[in-house]
Amino acid sequence: MTDHVLRLSRISLRTRFTLLAVALVFGITLLLSWVAARHSADQLEANIGASTAESAYQMVDKLDRSMDARIKEVKLLLGIEALTTGIDNNQLRTQLETLQDNYNVVSWIGFTDPNGVVQAASGGILEGASIAERPVFQNGREGMWIGDVHDAVLLSQRLPNPYGEALQFVDIATPVYTQDDTFLGVLAVHLSWEWAAYIQRAMFSPAQRRQGTELFLLSADGTVLLGPDDMLGQPINALTPLVTSATASPTWTIERWPDGQRYVTGVARSQGYEDFPGLGWVAVSRQPIEQAFAPVERLQYVIIGVGVLLALIFAVIGWVMASRLTAPLTRLSHAADNIHDTTQTPSDIPLETGSPELKRLSTSMRNMVGRLLDQNRTIRHLEDLANSDPLTGLPNRTFLNHYLLNALPEAQRQQQSIALVYIDLDGFKQVNDELGHHAGDLLLIDITQRLQDVLRVDDLVVRWGGDEFAMVLQAPTHLLEALTHDVSQRVITAITQPVALPEHPAVTVSCSLGAAWWPEHSQDIEEVMRLADAALYTAKEKGKHRLVIHQP
C-alpha cells in the first residue's frame, strides 16, 4: 500500500489533471457507447424474441384455420343426397371417394348406421365392420365432434403406408338425420396428420433453417405432436409451467430445455377459429440462444468498437489541450511537491502572473505553505506529547492503539502472530504509601529501563497506566509460546532485582503477567486485550509473581 502511495505521489499535477481529463472523456464515451449498445441490443433481442413468438403464433393460427376448413368441408358432406335419400351404398361409396380425391388430407370417410356398423366408406375399407366402441362413433352421434391426434387402430393395416411410419389422424364426426330428424348414423372423417407436418415444414424459411429454428406442436398436456422424431409422443416436463400458462397472445422467454441447452422460446396457444373450437394445442418455436442473439453480439461489438475509437480520438485531443492548460499548474505542483520539510520556505512557490486566477492561486499557495509548515511543527510536537508517557518516556496506550492498527496487517502478511502481555507491579502501592510518590516515580523509571533492556529491538513496551505496562511481541506462530515464556521470565527476573533509591533504602518489587495471542485466541485485538487483562488477574489470584497465558 505504501509503495502505491509513493508511486502516486511522484506523478505530477499536470499528468494527473491530464489523465483525469482523458479518463473522463474516455469513460463518458465508453459509457455512452455501452448504453447505446445495450439499448440497441435490448431492442434487437425483443424483436428476435417477438419474431420467435410470431412463428409459433403463425403455425397455430394456420392449423386452426386449416381445421376450420376441414370442419366446413364435413358440413358440406352432409348435403350429399345419398346420405339421406336411401340410395344404395355403392353409390354413396362412389360419392365419398370422389370427395376424398378432391381433399388430399382426408385419409378415410365412412358412414355408419345407427348401431355403428360401417355402411359405406372410401375404398370400401371397414365396410360391414362395427366401430360402435370407437370414440368417433360414440361422440359423433351426440353432435359435431373433433378428436385430437391419435394413432390409427382399425385403419393402420388397411390404409396405404408406403413409408412405414405410424399413421396418425385427427377425427371429425357428425350425426346424420333425415328431414324429419330421424337418426340415420354417423358420418366419420379421418384427416391425415401429415397435413399438419406439411404446414410445419412450410413455415421454415431458409434463414430459419440456418439459424437452427425448430417448431413444435404440443397437446394440451404438453405431449409433442409435431417436432423432431426422437421427441414425438414424449411430454416436455421442463416446459409444463410455460405450456400451462400460455395464452392466445404469443409470448417468448429464454428456457432451458431437457437437453440442457438454453433456447429463445416462443409460445402461442390455439384458440380455435370460427367453427373449430380448438383442442388446446400449443405451438412452440425455439432457437438456440447463441444463434438467435448472434446479431445482438455483432451489433454490440460494432457500437463499442466505434465508441472505443471515438474515445481514443477524444483522449488524444484532451491530452494535448490539458497539457497546454496545466503547464502553470505543473510548475506550482512541482514546487508544492518539494515542500516536504521545515527547511523549505513559502518563497519556494513560484509566483505565476499569467492570469489573475493563477496569481491568486500561487499567492494563496505561498500563504498556505507558510501556515502548513507552522502547523506541521506544532502537530509533531503535540503528537509526541499525546503518544508518550511524560514520566517514563515510554509510548502510552494511545500510541499502542495506533501501532496495532499497522502491526496487525503487517503480521498477517508475514504470517506471524502477536502476543500481548500485560504487566502489573506487585508491591508498588506499598512503596508509594511508605516512601512517597517521588520514590514511586523513580522506581517506575528504573523498571522502565529494565523492561527495555530485556526486550528485542522489534518488541514494544508501553506504559498502560499507574504501575501497569504492556508488551507487544511478534513471532511465527510455532515460536510464540516459547518466546512469551522466555521474555516473561526475563521480565520477572529483571524486576525482582532490588532498586536503589536516593535517600531511601533499596526496595524490591515483583510483577504479575497475563498474556493472550492474536489471532490464535481471537481475531479481534480488543478481545485479545481483554483476555490478556483477565489472564493478569488470574495470575494475581494464583499468588502473583508469575505468568498466566489465556487458555481458551
What average pLDDT does this structure show over 301-310?
71
Confidence band (pLDDT; 50, 70, 90) for 163? Answer: very low
- pLDDT of 162: 44
Written as one string, the DSSP assignment of 378-406 is HHHHHHHHHHB-TTT--B-HHHHHHHHHH
- Stretch among 153-162, 343-352, 451-460 having the lowest mean pLDDT: 153-162
Claim to verify: residue 408 and residue 481 sit in the same structural domain: yes
**Which of 276, 294, 312 represents a domain boundary (last residue)?**
294
Q: Does 87 map to a domain?
A: no
Which residues form the domain of 369? 327-387
Helix, strand, or coil here: 295? helix
- pLDDT of 322: 62
Of 294 and 160, the structure prediction assigns the larger pLDDT to 294
CA-atom Rg of the chain in angstroms: 48
CATH number, position 476: 3.30.70.270
Q: Does 490 map to a domain?
A: yes
List, edge to edge, every strand of the sheet that includes 251-256: 224-226, 214-218, 282-288, 262-269, 251-256
CA 499 – CA 26 distance, rounded (Å):
72
Which of these, 500, 374, 383, 343, lies nearest to 435 by C-alpha position? 500
Written as one string, the DSSP assignment of 108-149 is EEEEE-TTSBEEEEGGGTTTT-B-TTSHHHHHHTTS-EEEEE
Count helices and strands in the chain by DSSP H and E runs: 17, 17
Q: Does 54 map to a domain?
A: no
- pLDDT of 205: 59
Claim to verify: residue 336 and residue 287 sit in the same structural domain: no
Claim to verify: residue 376 and residue 519 sit in the same structural domain: no
- Give the DSSP letter of residue 180: T
Place of cell 511465527: 476
pLDDT of 13 above 60 = no
Q: What is the pLDDT of residues 29-39, one digit of tens each?
A: 667 666 666 66
CA torsion through residues 492, 494, 500, 506, sign: positive
- Stretch among 103-107, 228-232, 382-386 having the lowest mean pLDDT: 382-386
pLDDT of 504 above 50 = yes
- What lies within 8 Å, CB to CB, of 516 at 6+ separation is 419, 420, 522, 528, 529, 531, 532, 535, 549, 550
Claim to verify: residue 457 and residue 504 sit in the same structural domain: yes
pTM: 0.45
Confidence band (pLDDT; 50, 70, 90) for 17? Answer: low
Residue 181 burial (10 A CB sphere; 0-12, 13-18, 19+): exposed
pLDDT of 252 above 50 = yes
**How is residue 80 written as a grid cell?**
350429399
Q: Does 543 map to a domain?
A: yes
pLDDT of 470 above 60 = yes
Of 342 and 538, the structure prediction assigns the larger pLDDT to 538
Per DSSP, which regions of 403-483 are E strands? 417-426, 460-465, 468-475
Strands 547-549, 510-518: parallel, antiparallel or unpaired by DSSP?
A: parallel
Claim to verify: residue 404 and residue 382 sit in the same structural domain: no
Q: What is the pLDDT of residues 326-381, one digit of tens each?
A: 666 667 667 766 665 555 666 667 676 766 766 777 777 777 767 777 777 766 76
Total of domains in the chain: 3
What average pLDDT does this structure show over 167-196?
76
Cα distances from 170 to residues 51, 144, 167, 488, in angstroms, run: 29, 14, 11, 97
Claim to verify: residue 344 and residue 476 sit in the same structural domain: no
Q: Does 8 map to a domain?
A: no
CATH number, position 226: 3.30.450.20
Claim to verify: residue 436 and residue 534 sit in the same structural domain: yes
Of 462 and 204, the structure prediction assigns the larger pLDDT to 462
Largest CA distance in the chain: 151
What average pLDDT does this structure show over 450-455?
88
pLDDT of 277 above 70 = yes
The active-site residue out of 467, 486, 524, 533 is 467
**Which of 346, 362, 387 represents a domain boundary (last residue)?**
387
CA 140 – CA 189 distance, rounded (Å):
10
What average pLDDT does this structure show over 495-508?
85
- pLDDT of 63: 75
Q: Does 345 map to a domain?
A: yes
- pLDDT of 164: 44
Q: What is the pLDDT of residues 60-78, one digit of tens each?
A: 777 778 777 777 777 776 6
Which of these, 307, 326, 317, 316, lies nearest to 27 by C-alpha position? 307
Helix, strand, or coil here: 486? helix
- pLDDT of 533: 92
Claim to verify: residue 367 and residue 417 sit in the same structural domain: no
**Which of 363, 387, 411 represents a domain boundary (last residue)?**
387
Claim to verify: residue 406 and residue 506 sit in the same structural domain: yes
- pLDDT of 122: 77
Contact 171, 188 (CB under 8 A): yes
Known catalytic residue: 467?
yes
Contact 517, 419 (CB under 8 A): yes
- pLDDT of 293: 66
- What lies within 8 Å, CB to CB, of 303 at 6+ separation is 33, 36, 37, 40
**How is residue 489 written as a grid cell?**
521470565
What average pLDDT does this structure show over 436-446?
88
Of 128 and 350, the structure prediction assigns the larger pLDDT to 128
Of 403 and 258, the structure prediction assigns the larger pLDDT to 403
Helix, strand, or coil here: 472? strand
Confidence band (pLDDT; 50, 70, 90) for 417? Answer: very high
- pLDDT of 294: 67
**How is residue 469 written as a grid cell?**
505496562
Average pLDDT value for the chain: 76
Task: Encode 40-105 in three state secondary structure.
Answer: HHHHHHHHHHHHHHHHHHHHHHHHHHHHHHHHHHHHHHCCCHHHHCCCCHHHHHHHHHHHHHHCCC
Q: What is the pLDDT of residues 184-227, one digit of tens each?
A: 888 888 777 666 666 666 666 555 556 667 777 777 777 777 77
CA torsion through residues 42, 47, 53, 56, sign: negative
Contact 472, 420 (CB under 8 A): yes
- What lies within 8 Å, CB to CB, of 273 at 6+ separation is 61, 64, 65, 67, 68
- Stretch among 390-394, 451-455, 466-470, 530-534 having the lowest mean pLDDT: 390-394
- pLDDT of 469: 93
Confidence band (pLDDT; 50, 70, 90) for 489? Answer: very high
Claim to verify: residue 470 and residue 534 sit in the same structural domain: yes
Claim to verify: residue 439 and residue 517 sit in the same structural domain: yes
What average pLDDT does this structure show over 115-133?
80
- pLDDT of 156: 52
Confidence band (pLDDT; 50, 70, 90) for 103? Answer: low
Determine which helix (DSSP H) or strand (DSSP E) holds 191, and give its type and residue range.
strand 183-192
Claim to verify: residue 374 and residue 414 sit in the same structural domain: no
Q: Does 150 map to a domain?
A: no
What average pLDDT does this structure show over 277-304?
71
- pLDDT of 292: 64
Q: Does 405 map to a domain?
A: yes
